[in-house]
Structure 1
Amino acid sequence: MEQQKAIPRELLPVVQYLRSKAEVKTKTGVLGGKRHDYFKGKAALKALLSPSYAKIHPSGSPPITDEAAASALLNTIMPYTFFVRVERTEQSIAGAKVLQINPERMNQTFDGESYYAWLYDGNQLMVIAGAALMVLVVLAGVMFPLWPMSLRIGVWYLSMAALGFVGLFFVIAIIRLILYIITWIAVSPGIWLFPNLFEDVGFVDSFIPLWAWDIPPPKKVKKSKAEKQAEKEQKKANKKNKLINGTQEASAASSGNDTPAKED
């Protein structure tokens, strides 16, 4: 799009951050017969207020310190049509919500409660590099009979090592299950060998600690509707008090500035 090419250089890293690095939660919708990722406005506001954005913050723009500044920055980006405000309909196509553009709301300011569809796919360099690498791997596999004997022997040893590693993993999984069943019967609640083996952690952390008791996590106590309502009312009261205090401080400061200086 021509509008996207006209974006100032200092704003492009912000768009790329929101599209690829900020991990803004997106869903897939259908807009104009094509699938597009879309997100809620408050997700983008939250991303700009996160510490990770400060690392790529453009030097030519003011720092993002509050939600108003983040909204102003997104308002500056909107005319370049990297994303567009949309409304979700009740219709769905293959599990994806049908999106539509409301012309009456096109020129409104960025709203955290509205939805926005991406018209920008992000930096395609990694996609192109991945496709080229896949082609090279396929060609290398097809030409395997033409490889030198030393390389073919090396690949064979590597494949055997990989199979051995996978086999060792299955052996550990079976042993830890047997150990857990035995200890669950003998000394309940049971002991897990390598308790983090199947957790979403790094490779080294998967084998730390060596063992642990199978202690279930504490159950979350669900709050009643009355407690939730009381919390909401308390938050509203706190916000109201902050506004009142801020107004009083501002009026006090202005009255202090308006006081004429005493003559000597």
Structure 2
Amino acid sequence: MSEGVVAIGNPLAVAKVLRHHPELKQRKGLFESRQIDFFRYKRFVRALKSEEYAKKSKNQPDVYPVVGEVEESDARARNVFISLIRAQLVVPSTKLHSEECKEHGLTPSKEFPNLILSNKAVLQPDEYYVWNYNPKTLTDYLIVIGVISAILALVCYPLWPMFMRRGSYYLSMGALGLLGLFFAMAIVRLIIYLVTLPLTKSQGGFWIFPNLFEDCGVLESFRPFYGYGEKECYSYLKKVKRNKRKLTKKEKASAQKSSAE
């Protein structure tokens, strides 16, 4: 990062506009044992050149520095980005491979890549940066209000009218019934697997609701109704898609390299 560059505009205001900008194509990752959003530097430059940011900078150039599409646009975008780094709104990082995670004492994750703090902010197109700015959304405030309201309602249980107490009783009994049904289904599922295993061992065993204990949505947990081995599991299918994307990227990179030669 070059010295002597003066921070321009309002870095916090710029961060508010671009924090969830679609041009960033940001992904979820793990940074210092917490979930974060990260992106490539080139994506941030594209977001600064977007129509949304251009309108902001046209109306308030003192707050949102003008970048534009002129020859100096990359240098201007660089200065804006440096101001965000100096304000510690974004942090330079390095994305680790599975083997590198073990070297840094981190546990590789199938869902999210691990990132570590980089010692130097290199403003190159494919360098990764992590957001250190997470503004509160309307959903966050609604969740807090909902939790506080639920706690107050439970504390005031003795003051509830009789029909509300009776309703809460039936509701709790229904929840316990569903929980018992879930455990019964899990036991029956395991019994069926063990009984059919000698016949379906070559296929990996027969499972009812193979995604029941997978890390997926509620509806996905009950789809499909049955499956063999792990090939019907949500995590396996996701792994296949991820490997397919990696293979496609490698093929594109090799094709570009061969065409350049």
Kept after mapping to 2: 8 A contact 1:45/1:71? no
Aligned to 1:251: none
Output the amino acid matched with 1:127. D
Cα distance in 2 for partners of 1:156, 1:71 equals 66
Q: CA deviation at 1:137?
A: 1.3
Q: CA deviation at 1:15?
A: 1.8
Output the amino acid matched with 1:27. F
1:207 aligned onto 2:235? no
Aligned to 2:27: 23
Pairwise mapping of residues 69-148 of structure 1 onto structure 2 (< 5 A)? 76-80=80-84, 81=87, 82-85=89-92, 109-113=123-127, 116=129, 118-148=131-161
Gaps of 5+ in 1: 30-35, 63-68, 221-231, 245-264
TM-score, normalised by the number of residues in structure 2? 0.55
1:174 aligned onto 2:187? yes
Kept after mapping to 2: 8 A contact 1:38/1:118? yes
Partner of 1:204, secondary structure, is: helix
Kept after mapping to 2: 8 A contact 1:41/1:110? no
Q: 1:58 to 1:167 in 2, by over 3 A?
A: farther
Aligned to 1:157: 170
Q: Which moved more, 1:164-173 or 1:196-205?
A: 196-205
Cα distance in 1 for partners of 2:192, 2:220 equals 21
Q: CA deviation at 1:154?
A: 0.7
Q: 1:155 to 1:21 in 2, by over 3 A?
A: farther
Q: 1:182 to 1:156 in 2, by over 3 A?
A: same
1:191 aligned onto 2:195? no
Kept after mapping to 1: 8 A contact 2:39/2:130? no
Q: CA deviation at 1:87?
A: 8.8
Q: CA deviation at 1:46?
A: 6.4
Q: 1:192 to 1:72 in 2, by over 3 A?
A: farther
Over the aligned positions, Cα root-mean-square deviation in angstroms equals 4.9
Partner of 1:199, secondary structure, is: coil
TM-score, normalised by the number of residues in structure 1? 0.54
Q: CA deviation at 1:239?
A: 3.3
Partner of 1:16, secondary structure, is: coil
Kept after mapping to 2: 8 A contact 1:180/1:192? yes
Counterpart selection for 1:13 from 17, 29, 32: 17
Structure showing greater Rg: 1
Output the amino acid matched with 2:187. I
Percent same amino acid among aligned pairs? 28
Kept after mapping to 2: 8 A contact 1:24/1:39? yes
Cα distance in 1 for partners of 2:212, 2:148 equals 34
Output the amino acid matched with 1:28. E
Cα distance in 1 for partners of 2:17, 2:165 equals 45
Gaps of 5+ in 2: 1-8, 56-72, 96-103, 108-114, 241-249
Output the amino acid matched with 1:14. L
